[in-house]
Structure 1
Amino acid sequence: MAKTVFISSETIESAIDDLKMVEFCGKRATEAHHLFLYFLLRRAGVSEYDYITDSQFKQDEVREEIWEAMFELGALYNPYFEIGLKYCCFPFSGFGFLKQSEEKWSSDLFYNKATPICRKEYPYRNINLVNRVFDSLDNAFVDKGLAYSNRNDGSKSYRFKQDVAHEISKQFRKRFPLRSFLLWINRYKRFDEFFQSKDIWNFLKMDFLKRYHLEQRELDSLFEPTGVQHISFADEPIDGSRVRSVLNLVDKPEIFPLADEGRTLMFDALTREDFENLTTGEAYLVNEDHLFILLEKYHQVILQGVPGTGKTYMANKVSERFDKVFKVMFHPNYTYQDFIVGKTMQNFSVIPQEGLLLRVIKECHDEDKGKVLLIIDEINRGHLASIFGETIYVLDRCNEVRIAFGDEEINLSLPDNLYILGTMNTSDRSIALVDFAIRRRFAVVTLYPDYELIDSASKVIGTDSPILGKLLKKINSRIVQETKSEHFQLGHSFFLKPAGSQWTLDEVREVLALRIAPMVEEFVMADVQKLRRILPQNLFVDQNAQSYLNDLQEYIENDD
């Protein structure tokens, strides 16, 4: 068994000290529950658009997810050596109130004071505790951040109100330090020793986003990118008594030693495979070096992202490392006959004609064969079932299929020296068509807008500080607000020019009017009111430089 390690006690204690500095400033102590409940419900899959019914809430798999979230957020005991009974809380919800009331402990602040988080006879977990979450929704959260409706069968369904994360953030004097929060929820997680040599901040962030079903805008509302800067590891997890001591909660929780025979590993260790799978899938900070390594490892990679994030640029850069490169752009009229096998007339006879994939495979088998790259641009624009037909199974690499080639049948498989790189526009509404057919057969890398790149590379004449990165970030924020989807955004290339070039305000206005506005209009399906809320008319008005710059600054700084 591979050696596992834990985040060190010193690192966790520093994180707790950081989190304690975020003061609760809500009007009522019961509002301190909202952040805790918000995370639990997000873990269950509830969003502004996705409901959960009371019957779904009672399903075992949902209750397991919520219990695990409760443990991560609020358990005050070391599960490897202790059993925690009463008092499961998210302690950082109430520190401001504790300071104001000059108390060390107030059970009213904490979610559970009646039902044990675990049971002595079965110390692993007490799923019945989750029932108390559901019982408290109507009393603690409905009308504050949660909306519900009565269904025809007599049950209720719940969803979040719009911008609930932003509203919850107002209950605290400042946002939570993200890095310290990530350390807190992973305080008892086991890590493969592989993690000791890696920068794992991005992994921890993406793991949190994935497991709690959060979007970046929610993360930005609740957290700031600060906190503990360095992670150290140790052979043992932080002792539960140290956690309770740093939190000034030494005597109140019901914590008991756990007999040796009752001990459990609690959660599976996070492994190198987890690291690679997650950082390969979501928000991987990739450059051409990383992309080349991924292609060598997986043979098939999709670069996805919103328009202007550099997908084509990245594909062209990595193609320089291959011996032969083929390119094709899929579109709605591209067919099996174009890609696999077609027909043509020759000497008044119909004969089979090799499609692009067969020609590429033939090149791979040449005597001087090297590494061959096939770039499929806009892979989601084609009708993949029609283009690949039965040959989609060869993408599994271990499969060989027989296909008709005229009057004969031939075996088709993908050679080891063939690599496939697809690009995909996530704002394209046809993207869902590829989810099952392609995604499981490709490593998927997501490129995101890089606002810092814009600010470091693009300067507007007449300004003292960078504004174009902030401008694009504001535009994207409003797009997400209006479309309710992070898939509809714009990338950094809209505001990048050749190195050393500067922007005039006229050029900024021109890009907004001729390149960005048409894209936004498509995102909002020509809804003029939404378009105007995203891009006000004064951003397109021809006026003197100072007036236009003032309008840009006001737009950027306006609190949506």
Structure 2
Amino acid sequence: MTDTTQARSFWFVGAVYDKTKDQTERFIDKGIWENGYTDRYLELVRSMLPGDRIAIKSSFTRKHDLPFDNRGQTVSAMAIKAIGTIIQNMGDGRTLKVDWTPVAPAKEWYFYTYRRTIWRVIPDRWEAQGMIEFTFDNKQQDYNRFCNAPYWRERFGDQPEAEKRFKWTKFYEAIADGLLQHKDDRSQLIQAIHAISTKVDGLSHLTDHYTDDDSGPLRDICPFTTMGIFNRGITDANRKSIAKELASFLGVDIPVPETFEGLPILNNLRSWFFGFNNVRQPGDIDTLWEMFAVAIDLAGSMDNPQIINHFVETFDKVNKQFSVKWNLTSGLFWIRPWQFISLDSKSREYLAKFLKLKIGRGGHENRCSGTEYLDLIDKISDQFENDQYPVHSFPELSLAAWEYEQIEERSTLEPIFENPDEDEISGVGQSITPYSIQDILNEGCFLSSEQLLGMLNCLRMKKNVILQGPPGTGKTWLARKLAFALMGQRSQTNVRAVQFHPNLSYEDFVRGWRPSAQGQLDLVDGPFLQMIKMAIEQPDVKFVLVIEEINRGNPAQIFGEILTLLEADKRTPSEALELCYSRGDADRVFIPSNLYVIGTMNIADRSLALVDLALRRRFAFIDLEPQIQSTWCNWVSKQFGIEQSFLKDIQRRMIDLNQTIEADSNLGRQFRIGHSYVTPHSKSQIDDPRQWFLQIVHTEIQPLLEEYWFDSTDNARKACDRLAEGL
């Protein structure tokens, strides 16, 4: 059984690159894996460590011969062709040495897949855990759980057919498949469309302009404009009639949808994806057909680099053509609604204002590029698998966008976080320093791996935890290490620490008025809102806010109305609240599910009041104990070269002192002294262990004991004498 508590990362990698055939057999024969790119994934490959498990995968889609009832829907699939263990990383960002085991025949994993060449997986969610066990331990995939998970249940779930939404998707996909047969010869298609226009009202827009004075019937058409003939601002009755006639011509036997919920429609005045003949460029319609075909290919072969590159290049080319604009994304959504997102005006507003997601604007005329479009799809798809997320598929997102109640007039809308000058953030190629529970243990944590795993699981489920314990139990140190382990990497930029104190206010922590350099007051976001915005902009990345000594301030006052949003089941845009210092009617805030909070609390501080029940209900509390035991002895001896016998003597003395403190009726367990006092800092050099310990006793422990026994200094002195006696 694969030990997922110790492994830093599991890697799922491709073996096909630009204009190359499958390299799996060569990789296995030579005991290597190679990054076929010279300009991509280099830092990610350098992050792969000896001992990490690795698998060669190939992603695609399947509709037939599946081991479960797919209800006629297309399923994402991933073939596992080989598994292995990394032996050596050559450090060039290109080459690994791997001990491979072929998987023949390749075994297929379904639903939870990824299109990029390199996929770093950490077992922090049930889907990932299941895939790791399936790949490396031959454990059976739980098809039923996946079929009924939020992201997939609309297509594959067990609910009655009458309760399922988005039944139109099968019809639209079938129409797209039928249209693809006419890619190279559109003569019969255009004749059929003109014939339909004589039978059904609503198709008066099919007249082309050949010169300034010459017009006539449209002689050529693209597939998106074809699908647009029943996706315009006309009556539902006419939409159904047109769709029925077109389906009959294409040989589609799936019934015409009864409803068109969530489907974006074209403006009747701009229903073509190309310009009139007298303004469009030669090849514009052909390029739209090329876009149509490669999009269908990409939806069916998810991680083929050649298809991805072809899609991006064609997307960017079409994006520059006359009359296309954002309609291109709606057309892609029509033909494969489960794989592509529509970025029509309502969807863009919903993404920006409600989901608080940034749309890249690096393409033509401040629209998204092909790469940014695919990155956005990956980013949102990852959120669909979160039970608490407001939407769980692109059809549901489109429907929610059209039902979204507008707060401001559309003409004045300025989407949040859509700054064209900012770079779109992508995890591909990002340098990673992996971090796991084993790293915490290696760096001087004296808990067991099982205890640490329990803490991480608690943090993942509750979202907010408080580490509490006596002084010197390493609460702040462990908070940061748990944050790194939660993220699976050592990333200082994704972890932020703040200190609570009696003078800290809501205005400091959340939002408040601040004087500006211009001599006026500006509404400024505090560290908590700043972290919220960072987490919303990068929903596929985990962020952690560490609050040191959380009980030294007044948490209920500092958090204010946002305290209620900390609850795990309220981490969704639908629970957003308006802050007391608001920037406008549309300024509502929610805490995303990828932002975690770790607080620390010194339970020996008698100057502080108890934490109120409102805060306690929203945090899980984890007790830390002094860990001056054999694990501590072994680690300190190994790291600093101190004799075990001397450390065991210190251990005995500290245990005796803590027993004395615990037995004192005025003190108790919460006043014991933790292991941090007698654990040297990582860069310390201990030349004289005796002198080192005596210095700690007199400069650190004695002042603390004098504070404990402030009304009986003899007790403090005697305790210190016993610590130093005989050394």
TM-score, normalising length from structure 2? Answer: 0.33
TM-score, normalising length from structure 1? Answer: 0.42
